[in-house]
Structure 1
Amino acid sequence: MIIKDEKSGVKYPLADYELTPDMAIVDVELMINMPKNLTAASGIDALIHAIEAYVSVLASEYTNGLALEAIRLIFKYLPQAYEEGTTNVKAREKMAHASTIAGMAFANAFLGVCHSMAHKLGAEHHIPHGVANALLINEVIRFNAVDNPLKQTAYPQYKYPNVKTRYARIADYLNLGGKTEDEKLELLIKAIDELKEKLDLPKNIKEAGVTEKKFYRTLDEMSEQAFDDQCTGANPRYPLIKEIKQMFINAYDAAE
């Protein structure tokens, strides 16, 4: 659950098993007439829910399969739901399932710093949450996928950093090809970019309508708030504030 402080404008995630529903009613008819931009934003958000849950330090055998299957469904059916949302009932149904499955994954494995940063970027610059995540995910993947992080998270569930291997497994599950983990990582990022292009999402923060002056005026505050966000603790590589700041900067005019 996300709440927003109306005075400060800051968004806060709240996570507690008391907030977890006992039952979910997944009714495709409620989604048939969703606008295309909402379909794109909510769909890409579900994808990043699954990706962050899969590489989270709290991931487990119970969440791994859920996350991978949600990722597969979203890559296959989100473009169809986006383009044919009012007529393609199957695509809508598969996306409803994928979103729910991804929710089950991150409700147990939690998320990561991409969501921490998206909470602050979205609140400060009025960017839809899913779009904010989409603007940041590539930088977060590259940040996480290193063999020698400056600092690991406080309670890693592994003997050594293995997040690059986990991203590579996502690429394998999607049959993206590649022989080495580095090749698979790049192919995964490429596939995410291609999906975002199909959804007509902005390529960077600048293209999303944030002026350079306003971005840099709010950068330090966003970085500090993202560091303190509840989602940061489950990220596989523990970020410093200056590293979060650099990811924001990299995402501002990426792909230009």
Structure 2
Amino acid sequence: MTLRFHKMHGLGNDFVVVDGREAPVAIDGALARAMADRHRGIGCDQLILIEESPHADVAMRIFNADGSEVSACGNATRCVAQLIGGEATISTAAGLLHASRTEGGISVDMGEPRFGWEDIPLAFAMHSAGLPLAWETLEKPWAINVGNPHVVFFVEDCDAVPLERLGPLIEHDPVFPERINVNVATIVDRGHLRLRVWERGAGLTRACGTGACATGVIAMLQGLVDSPVTVSLPGGDLSIGWAKGESIRMTGPATHVFSGEAELAAFGA
């Protein structure tokens, strides 16, 4: 079977996007992992499957490079919206997301953040604001769920943190039964912060939309920045707007690189 796909990225966070509305295809973790392999497959941080939805313009499933399936991905949401015309309601495991074209690219209503320990989830009850936990110099993170779970650390210089070593230790800590995304951020001024993200199931990425949302919200809750805030990631900038009791608004670019075809047999399917 020949599979048509699109290669896209949001600030360097790259995706293989398969539109299952054109020709239905069964994708599981093993196939997603094979396609995401950068040496033997097409190569991507996440594989995105677009499907029909009775409740929205399309449904979106998200597979990490390790084959695990997750509920939300901000950069992928912008890319899917861009691919299908810019204005879209997208059904995900985290709920309905609404995207629209704007001057800054694609703007997405990411829904309201959640802070309960059971919403993250954590292995046992504790307050999510300043968890009594530490991994070497990274300590007392705030935890938040923005469609997927994140912890956020504010540090003097996020570039100096050995995230490639500490990221997997935190991701797989038993206190996070569904694993966790790890954000280290540095405040530049009240309208700007810098961010690096270790994504569960993907590792270090050039950008993470939900990580930018999580970090922006926590920075606003701590009174460190104003809304909207510019979040600078290694791949570029996102704008994050939020107020208590409201949805998070994420705005940034989405880029279509090329379209291609591949034989599923090449991936062992």
Q: What TM-score, normalized by structure 1, do the two folds share? A: 0.27
Q: What TM-score, normalized by structure 2, do the two folds share? A: 0.26
Instruction: Say which structure is richer in strand.
Output: 2
Instruction: Say which structure is richer in helix.
Output: 1
